[in-house]
A = this chain, B = another copy of it.
Amino acid sequence: MMNGRDGMTRILFYLDGFNNDPWKQSLLDIDPAIDVRSYPDWGTPDDGPAYAFVWKPKAGLLKQYTNIKAIFSIGAGVDHLLSDPYLPKHIPIIRMGDESLKEGMAEYMVMSVLMHHRKMPHILNLQRKQTWQHIIAKPANQVSVGIMGYGTLGKEIAKKLAPFGYKLNTWSKTPKPAKPNITHYSGESGLKHFLENTNIITSVLPSTPETTNLINAETLSWMPKGAAIINAGRGTLININNLVDAIDNGHISGATLDVFPEEPLDADHPLWKHDKIIITPHIAAITRMDSAAEYVIRNIKAIENNQEPENKLDIERGY
Protein backbone atom coordinates (compact mmCIF):
# COMPACT_ATOMS: atom_id res chain seq x y z
CA MET A 1 0.00 0.00 0.00
CA MET A 2 1.40 3.37 -0.98
CA ASN A 3 0.60 6.61 0.73
CA GLY A 4 2.23 9.97 0.27
CA ARG A 5 5.77 10.94 -0.42
CA ASP A 6 7.52 8.33 1.70
CA GLY A 7 5.36 5.45 0.41
CA MET A 8 4.24 4.41 3.88
CA THR A 9 0.77 4.15 5.38
CA ARG A 10 0.82 6.04 8.65
CA ILE A 11 -1.98 5.64 11.21
CA LEU A 12 -2.27 7.96 14.20
CA PHE A 13 -4.13 6.01 16.89
CA TYR A 14 -5.91 7.48 19.93
CA LEU A 15 -7.80 5.48 22.54
CA ASP A 16 -7.49 6.71 26.08
CA GLY A 17 -7.88 4.35 29.05
CA PHE A 18 -7.27 1.09 27.16
CA ASN A 19 -4.09 -0.74 26.29
CA ASN A 20 -3.30 0.36 22.74
CA ASP A 21 -0.84 -2.42 21.94
CA PRO A 22 -3.39 -5.06 20.85
CA TRP A 23 -5.00 -2.48 18.56
CA LYS A 24 -1.66 -1.65 16.96
CA GLN A 25 -0.99 -5.35 16.57
CA SER A 26 -4.35 -5.92 14.84
CA LEU A 27 -3.36 -3.38 12.19
CA LEU A 28 0.15 -4.82 11.83
CA ASP A 29 -1.31 -8.34 11.54
CA ILE A 30 -2.96 -7.23 8.32
CA ASP A 31 -0.07 -5.18 6.99
CA PRO A 32 3.26 -5.24 8.89
CA ALA A 33 4.50 -2.29 6.85
CA ILE A 34 2.03 0.16 8.38
CA ASP A 35 3.53 2.82 10.63
CA VAL A 36 1.07 2.75 13.55
CA ARG A 37 1.66 5.53 16.06
CA SER A 38 -0.12 5.52 19.37
CA TYR A 39 -0.82 8.88 21.04
CA PRO A 40 1.14 10.84 22.30
CA ASP A 41 3.83 9.51 19.92
CA TRP A 42 2.18 10.96 16.83
CA GLY A 43 5.35 12.75 15.67
CA THR A 44 4.90 16.04 13.83
CA PRO A 45 2.71 17.11 10.90
CA ASP A 46 5.88 17.23 8.82
CA ASP A 47 6.30 13.47 9.04
CA GLY A 48 4.05 13.04 6.02
CA PRO A 49 0.45 12.06 5.24
CA ALA A 50 -1.41 10.06 7.86
CA TYR A 51 -4.84 8.68 8.80
CA ALA A 52 -6.33 9.26 12.23
CA PHE A 53 -8.03 6.28 13.93
CA VAL A 54 -9.45 7.66 17.13
CA TRP A 55 -11.95 7.56 19.99
CA LYS A 56 -12.74 10.73 21.97
CA PRO A 57 -9.53 12.59 21.00
CA LYS A 58 -8.76 15.74 22.95
CA ALA A 59 -10.45 18.79 21.45
CA GLY A 60 -8.14 20.58 19.05
CA LEU A 61 -5.71 17.67 18.66
CA LEU A 62 -6.80 16.60 15.18
CA LYS A 63 -6.61 20.17 13.89
CA GLN A 64 -2.93 20.42 14.88
CA TYR A 65 -2.05 17.45 12.69
CA THR A 66 -2.51 19.02 9.31
CA ASN A 67 -1.06 15.89 7.73
CA ILE A 68 -4.22 13.89 8.52
CA LYS A 69 -5.98 12.91 5.28
CA ALA A 70 -9.02 11.22 6.83
CA ILE A 71 -10.37 10.47 10.31
CA PHE A 72 -11.70 7.05 11.26
CA SER A 73 -13.92 6.78 14.34
CA ILE A 74 -13.35 3.66 16.45
CA GLY A 75 -17.13 3.49 17.11
CA ALA A 76 -20.22 3.93 14.96
CA GLY A 77 -21.12 7.18 16.70
CA VAL A 78 -19.20 10.33 15.83
CA ASP A 79 -20.58 12.65 18.50
CA HIS A 80 -17.19 12.26 20.23
CA LEU A 81 -15.65 13.96 17.18
CA LEU A 82 -18.38 16.50 16.42
CA SER A 83 -18.11 17.87 19.95
CA ASP A 84 -14.61 19.09 19.06
CA PRO A 85 -15.06 22.72 17.99
CA TYR A 86 -11.80 22.53 16.04
CA LEU A 87 -12.65 19.35 14.14
CA PRO A 88 -11.17 19.56 10.62
CA LYS A 89 -14.42 19.08 8.72
CA HIS A 90 -12.92 19.46 5.27
CA ILE A 91 -11.37 15.97 5.36
CA PRO A 92 -13.34 12.71 5.20
CA ILE A 93 -14.60 11.47 8.56
CA ILE A 94 -15.56 7.80 8.55
CA ARG A 95 -17.88 6.05 11.00
CA MET A 96 -17.05 2.52 12.07
CA GLY A 97 -19.16 -0.05 10.25
CA ASP A 98 -17.17 -3.24 10.53
CA GLU A 99 -18.77 -6.66 10.66
CA SER A 100 -18.32 -7.11 14.42
CA LEU A 101 -20.28 -3.96 15.12
CA LYS A 102 -23.17 -5.03 12.87
CA GLU A 103 -23.18 -8.56 14.30
CA GLY A 104 -22.98 -7.38 17.89
CA MET A 105 -25.78 -4.87 17.47
CA ALA A 106 -28.05 -7.39 15.74
CA GLU A 107 -27.39 -9.96 18.51
CA TYR A 108 -28.23 -7.40 21.18
CA MET A 109 -31.40 -6.24 19.46
CA VAL A 110 -32.74 -9.71 18.64
CA MET A 111 -32.03 -10.77 22.23
CA SER A 112 -33.73 -7.70 23.67
CA VAL A 113 -36.74 -7.85 21.33
CA LEU A 114 -37.26 -11.51 22.25
CA MET A 115 -36.89 -10.63 25.94
CA HIS A 116 -39.62 -7.98 25.76
CA HIS A 117 -41.86 -10.04 23.47
CA ARG A 118 -41.54 -13.05 25.79
CA LYS A 119 -41.99 -10.83 28.89
CA MET A 120 -38.62 -11.64 30.43
CA PRO A 121 -38.46 -8.44 32.53
CA HIS A 122 -41.69 -9.60 34.22
CA ILE A 123 -40.44 -13.19 34.51
CA LEU A 124 -37.15 -12.00 36.07
CA ASN A 125 -39.17 -10.05 38.64
CA LEU A 126 -41.28 -13.13 39.37
CA GLN A 127 -38.06 -15.06 39.99
CA ARG A 128 -36.98 -12.47 42.56
CA LYS A 129 -40.37 -12.93 44.23
CA GLN A 130 -39.97 -16.74 44.02
CA THR A 131 -43.29 -16.90 42.21
CA TRP A 132 -44.31 -19.44 39.57
CA GLN A 133 -46.89 -17.90 37.29
CA HIS A 134 -48.02 -18.88 33.82
CA ILE A 135 -47.01 -16.15 31.37
CA ILE A 136 -48.41 -16.11 27.86
CA ALA A 137 -46.83 -14.12 25.05
CA LYS A 138 -48.48 -13.11 21.80
CA PRO A 139 -47.51 -14.95 18.63
CA ALA A 140 -44.67 -13.10 16.87
CA ASN A 141 -46.83 -12.32 13.84
CA GLN A 142 -49.03 -10.19 16.09
CA VAL A 143 -46.08 -8.15 17.37
CA SER A 144 -44.71 -5.11 15.48
CA VAL A 145 -41.05 -4.37 15.92
CA GLY A 146 -39.81 -0.96 14.86
CA ILE A 147 -36.25 -0.06 13.95
CA MET A 148 -35.30 3.60 14.35
CA GLY A 149 -32.25 4.39 12.24
CA TYR A 150 -32.13 2.39 9.05
CA GLY A 151 -28.52 2.51 7.95
CA THR A 152 -25.83 -0.18 8.15
CA LEU A 153 -26.87 -1.27 11.66
CA GLY A 154 -30.63 -0.97 11.20
CA LYS A 155 -30.53 -3.12 8.06
CA GLU A 156 -28.61 -5.85 9.84
CA ILE A 157 -31.14 -5.80 12.70
CA ALA A 158 -34.03 -6.14 10.22
CA LYS A 159 -32.29 -9.04 8.51
CA LYS A 160 -31.75 -10.93 11.77
CA LEU A 161 -35.28 -10.24 13.08
CA ALA A 162 -37.07 -11.27 9.89
CA PRO A 163 -36.96 -15.08 10.41
CA PHE A 164 -38.95 -14.71 13.64
CA GLY A 165 -42.03 -13.51 11.80
CA TYR A 166 -42.49 -10.14 13.51
CA LYS A 167 -44.18 -7.31 11.61
CA LEU A 168 -41.25 -5.00 10.83
CA ASN A 169 -41.42 -1.22 10.67
CA THR A 170 -38.47 1.08 10.11
CA TRP A 171 -38.08 4.80 10.58
CA SER A 172 -35.35 7.10 9.37
CA LYS A 173 -34.85 10.80 8.79
CA THR A 174 -34.96 10.46 5.02
CA PRO A 175 -37.04 8.05 2.89
CA LYS A 176 -35.39 4.73 1.97
CA PRO A 177 -36.14 2.36 -0.91
CA ALA A 178 -39.00 -0.08 -0.22
CA LYS A 179 -38.12 -3.59 0.97
CA PRO A 180 -40.39 -6.64 0.96
CA ASN A 181 -42.18 -7.26 4.29
CA ILE A 182 -40.92 -4.01 5.84
CA THR A 183 -43.07 -0.91 6.28
CA HIS A 184 -40.87 2.14 6.05
CA TYR A 185 -41.70 5.49 7.62
CA SER A 186 -39.59 8.63 7.46
CA GLY A 187 -39.24 12.18 8.63
CA GLU A 188 -41.14 14.12 11.23
CA SER A 189 -44.42 13.44 9.46
CA GLY A 190 -43.87 9.66 9.47
CA LEU A 191 -42.89 9.42 13.13
CA LYS A 192 -46.42 9.40 14.57
CA HIS A 193 -47.62 6.62 12.28
CA PHE A 194 -44.46 4.64 12.95
CA LEU A 195 -44.87 4.85 16.72
CA GLU A 196 -48.63 4.19 16.62
CA ASN A 197 -47.92 0.94 14.80
CA THR A 198 -44.98 -0.33 16.83
CA ASN A 199 -45.07 -2.57 19.92
CA ILE A 200 -41.33 -2.84 20.45
CA ILE A 201 -39.01 -0.04 19.36
CA THR A 202 -35.33 -0.63 18.77
CA SER A 203 -33.21 2.44 18.23
CA VAL A 204 -29.74 2.81 16.78
CA LEU A 205 -30.23 6.48 15.97
CA PRO A 206 -27.19 8.75 16.25
CA SER A 207 -27.09 11.79 18.51
CA THR A 208 -28.07 14.86 16.50
CA PRO A 209 -30.12 17.96 17.32
CA GLU A 210 -33.16 16.28 15.67
CA THR A 211 -32.89 13.04 17.66
CA THR A 212 -32.32 14.72 21.03
CA ASN A 213 -35.37 14.08 23.24
CA LEU A 214 -37.21 12.64 20.25
CA ILE A 215 -38.74 10.09 22.64
CA ASN A 216 -40.61 12.28 25.12
CA ALA A 217 -43.98 12.43 26.87
CA GLU A 218 -45.84 13.27 23.67
CA THR A 219 -44.21 10.73 21.36
CA LEU A 220 -44.42 8.01 24.05
CA SER A 221 -48.18 8.65 24.22
CA TRP A 222 -48.43 7.79 20.50
CA MET A 223 -47.23 4.24 21.12
CA PRO A 224 -49.75 1.46 21.79
CA LYS A 225 -50.37 0.55 25.43
CA GLY A 226 -47.85 -2.04 26.57
CA ALA A 227 -45.16 -0.99 24.11
CA ALA A 228 -41.48 -1.39 25.01
CA ILE A 229 -38.35 0.53 24.05
CA ILE A 230 -34.83 -0.69 23.44
CA ASN A 231 -32.18 1.98 22.96
CA ALA A 232 -28.64 1.16 21.88
CA GLY A 233 -28.04 4.26 19.76
CA ARG A 234 -27.38 7.30 21.89
CA GLY A 235 -28.72 8.24 25.32
CA THR A 236 -29.81 11.68 24.17
CA LEU A 237 -32.74 10.10 22.26
CA ILE A 238 -34.94 9.59 25.30
CA ASN A 239 -36.20 11.96 27.94
CA ILE A 240 -35.56 9.54 30.80
CA ASN A 241 -38.01 11.16 33.23
CA ASN A 242 -40.78 10.99 30.63
CA LEU A 243 -39.98 7.34 29.96
CA VAL A 244 -40.03 6.44 33.66
CA ASP A 245 -43.38 8.25 34.05
CA ALA A 246 -44.86 6.40 31.07
CA ILE A 247 -43.69 3.06 32.51
CA ASP A 248 -44.93 3.89 36.00
CA ASN A 249 -48.37 4.91 34.77
CA GLY A 250 -48.62 1.60 32.86
CA HIS A 251 -48.66 2.93 29.31
CA ILE A 252 -45.19 1.60 28.44
CA SER A 253 -44.39 -1.93 29.66
CA GLY A 254 -40.64 -1.59 30.00
CA ALA A 255 -37.33 -0.71 28.43
CA THR A 256 -33.83 -1.97 27.80
CA LEU A 257 -31.25 0.79 27.79
CA ASP A 258 -27.62 0.44 26.73
CA VAL A 259 -26.90 4.16 26.40
CA PHE A 260 -27.57 7.12 28.67
CA PRO A 261 -27.35 10.90 28.59
CA GLU A 262 -24.31 10.61 30.85
CA GLU A 263 -22.08 7.56 30.92
CA PRO A 264 -21.18 5.72 32.98
CA LEU A 265 -24.57 5.86 34.64
CA ASP A 266 -24.01 7.21 38.13
CA ALA A 267 -23.90 4.50 40.83
CA ASP A 268 -26.69 6.33 42.70
CA HIS A 269 -28.94 6.85 39.69
CA PRO A 270 -32.53 5.69 40.43
CA LEU A 271 -32.74 4.00 37.00
CA TRP A 272 -30.63 1.06 38.22
CA LYS A 273 -33.42 0.06 40.61
CA HIS A 274 -36.36 0.31 38.22
CA ASP A 275 -37.67 -3.23 37.92
CA LYS A 276 -39.11 -2.74 34.44
CA ILE A 277 -35.92 -1.30 32.97
CA ILE A 278 -32.98 -3.48 32.01
CA ILE A 279 -29.68 -1.62 32.05
CA THR A 280 -26.63 -2.74 30.11
CA PRO A 281 -23.33 -0.83 30.26
CA HIS A 282 -22.97 0.36 26.63
CA ILE A 283 -22.01 -3.08 25.39
CA ALA A 284 -24.59 -3.65 22.63
CA ALA A 285 -22.01 -3.44 19.89
CA ILE A 286 -18.33 -3.31 20.61
CA THR A 287 -15.87 -2.72 17.82
CA ARG A 288 -13.67 -5.79 17.62
CA MET A 289 -10.04 -5.05 16.94
CA ASP A 290 -9.51 -7.55 14.15
CA SER A 291 -12.50 -6.59 12.05
CA ALA A 292 -12.07 -2.87 12.79
CA ALA A 293 -8.46 -3.03 11.59
CA GLU A 294 -9.63 -4.78 8.44
CA TYR A 295 -12.31 -2.11 7.91
CA VAL A 296 -9.88 0.80 8.36
CA ILE A 297 -7.25 -0.63 6.05
CA ARG A 298 -9.88 -1.49 3.42
CA ASN A 299 -11.17 2.07 3.49
CA ILE A 300 -7.71 3.67 3.44
CA LYS A 301 -7.16 1.71 0.24
CA ALA A 302 -10.47 3.00 -1.13
CA ILE A 303 -9.49 6.60 -0.39
CA GLU A 304 -6.08 6.15 -1.98
CA ASN A 305 -7.76 4.72 -5.07
CA ASN A 306 -10.06 7.74 -5.16
CA GLN A 307 -13.10 5.63 -4.27
CA GLU A 308 -15.76 6.67 -1.78
CA PRO A 309 -15.10 5.15 1.66
CA GLU A 310 -17.94 3.36 3.51
CA ASN A 311 -20.06 5.21 6.08
CA LYS A 312 -18.57 8.62 5.38
CA LEU A 313 -19.94 11.26 7.72
CA ASP A 314 -22.29 13.80 6.18
CA ILE A 315 -21.50 16.86 8.30
CA GLU A 316 -24.85 18.49 7.50
CA ARG A 317 -26.87 15.45 8.65
CA GLY A 318 -24.57 14.86 11.59
CA TYR A 319 -24.13 11.11 10.93
Judge whether A117 is part of the interface by a CB distance below 8 angstroms.
yes
With A131-B267, A136-B283, A267-B130 as known contacts, state yes or no: A114 contacts B110, CB within 8 Å: yes
Q: Of all chain B residues, which has the CB nearest A162?
A: B163
Q: Pick the residue among B100, B107, B117, B283 that contacts A107 (CB under 8 A).
A: B117
Whether, in the assembled complex, A140 has its beta carbon less than 8 Å from a beta carbon of chain B, the answer is yes
Known interface pairs A123-B280, A127-B279, A283-B123; A265-B132 also in contact (CB < 8 Å)? yes
Asked whether B268 lies within 8 Å of A140 as measured between CB atoms, the reply is no
Given known pairs A165-B103, A283-B136, the reply for A118 and B114 (CB within 8 Å) is no
Q: Which residues of B contact A264 (CB under 8 A)?
A: 132
Q: How far is the CA of A163 from the CA of B103 in the complex (A)?
A: 10
Is A250 located at the chain interface by the 8 A CB criterion? Answer: no
B133 touching A281, Cβ below 8 Å: yes
- A281/B114 in contact, CB under 8 A: no
Q: How large is the interface on A (under 10, 10 to 19, 20 to 34, 35 or more residues)?
A: 35 or more
- Asked if A272 is an interface residue, CB under 8 A from chain B, the answer is yes
Q: Digitize A257-278: 1 where CB-to-B-CB distance is under 8 Å, 0 elsewhere.
A: 0000001110111001100001
A139 at the interface (CB under 8 A from B): yes
B111 engages A115 (CB within 8 Å): yes
Interface: A303 (CB within 8 A)? no
**A118/B127 contact (C-beta < 8 A), A132-B265, A264-B132, A281-B135 known:** no
Given contacts A111-B118, A135-B283, A140-B107, contact A130 B160 (CB under 8 A): no
Does any Cβ of B come within 8 Å of A59's Cβ? no
Interface string of A24-58 (1 = CB under 8 A from B): 00000000000000000000000000000000000
**Shortest distance in angstroms between A137's beta carbon and chain B's nearest beta carbon?**
8
Within the complex, the shortest CB–CB distance from A185 to chain B, in Å, comes to: 25
Q: List 25 A-B contacts (CB under 8 A).
A: A100-B139, A103-B140, A103-B165, A104-B137, A106-B164, A108-B114, A110-B164, A111-B111, A111-B118, A123-B280, A123-B281, A123-B283, A130-B267, A130-B269, A132-B263, A132-B265, A132-B267, A132-B281, A134-B281, A134-B283, A135-B280, A135-B281, A137-B286, A159-B163, A163-B163
Which 9 interchain pairs have the tightest Cβ spacing? Answer: A132-B264, A111-B114, A130-B272, A132-B281, A127-B279, A135-B283, A130-B267, A123-B280, A107-B114
